[in-house]
Amino acid sequence: MIKTIFLITTVSLLSACSITKDSEPAVVEDRSSVTQESIITLDESSFESQSIVGASASLSSAERVAVTELKNTGTNFILYFSYDGFDIDESATAQIIKHANFMRDNSSVNLRLEGHADERGTREYNLALGENRALSVKEVLGLYDLSSRVEVISFGEEKPITQSHDEAGWKMNRRVEFIYQ
Amino acid sequence: MVDVYSKQELYAEKITVHDSGIRRIAHYLSDRIYFALLGEKGSFYTRLSYITVVNKDKGKREYRLEISHSDAQNPQTILTSGSPILSPSWSPDQEKIAYVSFENGRSEVFIRYPFVRRKTQKLPYFDGIASAPSWHPNGESLLLTLSKDGNKDIYSYHFKNDKLTRLTKDTAIDTEASYSPDGKRIVFTSNRSGQVQIYIKDLSSNKINRATFEGRYNAKAVFSPDGKTLAMVHRVDKDYRIALLDIKSRDLTIMTENQLDESPFFSPNGGMIIFATNRGDRGVLSVVSLLGRETFELASKEGEVREPNWSHYSR
């Protein structure tokens, strides 16, 4: 599973461009700003034992295939947010709609949204912020009548993807992860 | 103890102590001497609780809830977990510690008894976040942040009847609440203004007033033992530092000069503030004295140390 993350990140590096600034609106999986350093320090402990990112072990093999296909069509399973922000912009909404359609087509799967924050600011505030991020995503799914199938959990700043103490690292850690179960 | 000039006795006490209790008695005596000389209580015969995080093989982390003497000596691990532990808080009688654990996959509040054989107590299940526990000075209730309806608000939970009282109701984030020493006010963090700032609620009038106006980020405030000052995390440009706020005059004094200071907490006599900070890549505990602005760091054996909480005086 860890290998999968490395692969995705490395591929996006090939299309690397400029590092983006601190205060910007919520963005969709903008991995282009990831630096070499943050890849090296990718924190393996932040992912539980899943065979693929975005699918929990409780899925049947058919459901697992469906999730993998969704991923292969370019749907993002991680949305990123601005500093102290939890707003969903247009491109993030487009990604969430792809998940909504997937959930409608696959009525047996449920979705867990895990909200996370970067290390700056206090732990308890970040726990609340992480929940707000996940709730923002759930709100969009609610428009598709999917709320009852969506579980929201916040880990605040406790499960960073990377331990890099710089903007490139913080940017990766301010996120919501989609996990089908 | 005798004042050699006036030849007056300042302090005398006879104590019998077992070998293993020498350190503890030394702290007790230090408090007595401090009081005899300065007329104020010392903070030596008290305890700290804090969280230690140790990196293990294969990127795994171990979280420990630890307690120690006030000088961080004699550390004892009272809980070890593979899931994050947060926000330890001593009960006023120094017999219980409330804390947040993710051991069931989400944040929940537990009460642990470090000195007696008694089962850890889990607070009833609430939907969403349950976190940020902080005791009422009488020990009969806990302040909590709950997000039962999606809104993160402050509640007090009463042990006697399992009753919840809602203390804030706002669509913004309200969290990190703690009582004033007389239990008549609470201070909490809220982003209701669009910025993260500190608010004080008077529990008799139910009025909520904003306390901080300097800076764009002020969080996790705690009252000083005399109730006149708040210690908090204050953002300066890109750095997070510990600041003191005189509640009445609104004077704000920045006490530290690091990049990522967290979790300030007053010593029981109000003379010092303990907080967590980063040294290189390590998290350590640091203490700053209010009078001399002197800073010293407390020893930590291994790993990253966070979220110090200083107990009240022992009985």
Could you give all domains of chain A from N- to C-terminal order, each with its CATH number? 32-180 (3.30.1330.60)
| Inter-residue contact B165 to B201 (CB < 8 Å) | no
Q: Kindly list the residues from chain B whose CB atom is less than 8 angstroms away from the CB atom of residue A153.
A: 105-106
Among B68-77, B124-133, B224-233, the minimum mean pLDDT is found in B68-77
Cα A136 to chain centroid distance, Å, stands at: 13
Distance, CA of B262 to CA of B224 (rounded, Å)? 16
Letter for the amino acid at B190?
S
Please name the residue of chain A whose CA is at the shortest distance from the CA of residue B175: A125
pLDDT over threshold 70, residue A21: no
Q: Residues with Cβ < 8 Å from B43, sequence gap 6 or more?
A: B31, B70, B267, B268, B269, B271, B272, B310
Q: Which residues in chain A are contacts of B102 at CB distance < 8 A?
A: 155, 158
Residue A166 with chain B: CB contacts under 8 Å: none
Question: Per residue in A56-79, pLDDT tens?
Answer: 888 999 999 999 999 999 999 999
What is the pLDDT at residue A17?
37
Question: What pLDDT band is residue B13 in, cutting at 50, 70 and 90?
Answer: confident
Shortest CA distance from B235: residue in chain A:
A121
CB contact under 8 Å between A158 and B102, yes or no, is yes
Residue B90 has pLDDT above 50, yes or no: yes
pLDDT of residue A42: 41
What's the rounded Cα separation, in Å, for the pair A34 and A72? 21
For chain A, give the percent of residues with pLDDT over 90. Answer: 65
B191 Cβ contact list (under 8 Å, min separation 6): A84, B172, B173, B197
When CB atoms are compared, the residue of B131, B219, B281 closest to A121 is: B219
CA-CA-CA-CA torsion sign (B290, B89, B193, B262): positive
Nearest CA in chain A to B102: A155
Residue A44, pLDDT score:
41
- Which of B58, B150, B176 minimises the CB distance to A125? B176
Beta carbons of B80 and B303 less than 8 angstroms apart? no
Q: Which residues of B touch A43 (CB under 8 A)?
A: 59
CB contact under 8 A, B87 and A123: yes
Nearest to B230 by CA among B194, B279, B181: B181
CA distances to A9, A95, B91 from A70, in Å: 18, 11, 50
Percent of chain B with pLDDT over 90: 67
Q: CA nearest B109: which of B99, B95, B118?
A: B99
Q: Does residue B42 carry a pLDDT above 60? A: yes
- The verdict on A127 touching B (C-beta cutoff 8 Å) is yes
Give the residue, B16 or A153, on which the prediction is more confident.
A153
Q: Is residue B295 very low, low, confident or very high in pLDDT (cuts 50, 70, 90)?
A: confident
Chain A residue closest in CA terms to B218: A121
B43 pLDDT higher than 50? yes
Residue A3, chain B, CB below 8 Å: the answer is no
Q: Kindly indicate the confidence band of residue A33, based on its pLDDT and cuts at 50, 70 and 90.
A: very low
Write down the mean pLDDT value for chain B: 90
Give CA angle at A44 (A40, A50), nearest 5°.
135
Distance (Å) of CA B263 to CA A107, B159, B269 = 45, 26, 18
Cβ pairs bridging A and B (under 8 Å): 85
Of A180, A33, A3, A28, the closest CA to residue A107 belongs to A180
Give yes or no for a contact between B309 and B265, defined as CB atoms under 8 angstroms apart: yes
Q: Which residues pair with B244 in a beta bridge?
A: B231, B253
pLDDT one-digit tens code per residue, A84-134 = 999 999 999 999 999 999 999 999 999 999 999 999 999 999 999 999 999
Tell me how far apart the alpha carbons of residues B127 and B154 are, in angstroms, rounded to a whole number. Answer: 14
Helices (H) and strands (E) in chain B, counts: 1, 26
| The dihedral sign for the CA sequence B290, B144, B179, B113 | negative
Distance CA A63, CA A49 (A): 17
Q: Average the pLDDT over each of A29-38, A122-131, A151-160, B22-31 and give the range with the smallest value.
A: A29-38
CB contact under 8 A, B307 and A45: no
| Cα separation, B69 vs A172, whole angstroms | 39
Q: What is the pLDDT of residue B19?
A: 76
According to the model, what pLDDT value does residue B44 have?
A: 65
Q: How many CB atoms lie within 10 A of CB A121?
A: 24
Tell me which of A66 and B126 has the higher pLDDT. A66
Place of tokens 């709950």: B146
Chain B hits for A122, Cβ within 8 Å: 176, 189, 219-220, 233, 262-263
Residue B191 pLDDT greater than 70, yes or no: yes
Task: Provide the pLDDT for residue B126.
Answer: 85
User: Could you report the per-residue pLDDT of B146-181, keeping only the tens digit for each?
Assistant: 998 889 999 999 999 999 999 999 999 999 999 999
> Residue B48 is inside which H or E element, if any?
strand B47-55
- pLDDT of residue A176 exceeding 80: yes
**Closest by Cβ to B59, choosing from A45, A119, A124:** A45
Who has greater pLDDT, A7 or B195? B195
Angstrom distance (rounded) from CA B14 to CA B127: 54
Residue of B59, B131, B132 lying closest to A43 (CB–CB)? B59
Dist. CA B198–CA B185, nearest whole Å: 13
Kindly report the pTM of this predicted structure: 0.83
Is A3 or A53 the better-scoring residue by pLDDT?
A53
| CA–CA dist A34, A18 (Å, integer) | 9
What CA–CA distance (Å, rounded) separates B212 from B253? Answer: 12
Chain A from 64 to 93: CB within 8 A of any B CB: 84
Hey, what are B162's tokens?
């399992």
Chain B touched by A153 (CB under 8 Å): yes
ipTM value for the complex: 0.87
Taking alpha carbons only, the member of B81, B75, B87, B88 closest to residue B61 is B81
Q: A167 CB near a chain B CB, below 8 Å?
A: no
Which chain B positions have a beta carbon within 8 Å of A152's beta carbon? Answer: 128
Q: Are B57 and B47 in contact (CB under 8 A)?
A: no
pLDDT at A38 over 60: no
Confidence of residue A141 (pLDDT cuts 50, 70, 90): very high
Whether residues A128 and B260 touch (CB distance < 8 A) is answered with no
Residues with Cβ within 8 Å of B21's Cβ and at least 6 positions away in sequence, in order, are none
How confident is the model at residue B26, as a pLDDT?
75
Q: Tokens 């005059």 sit at which residue? A: B249
Instruction: Give Dmax (Cα) for chain A.
Output: 42
Contact assessment for residue B268 and residue B225, using Cβ atoms and an 8 Å cutoff: yes
Residue A20 pLDDT: 37
The β-bridge partners of B66 are: B50, B77
Residue A148's pLDDT is 97
Alpha-carbon distance B127 to A151, whole Å?
10
Query: Encoding tokens for residue B172?
Result: 């913004």
Q: Which of A127, A147, A181 to mutate to test the interface with B (most CBs of B within 10 A)?
A: A127
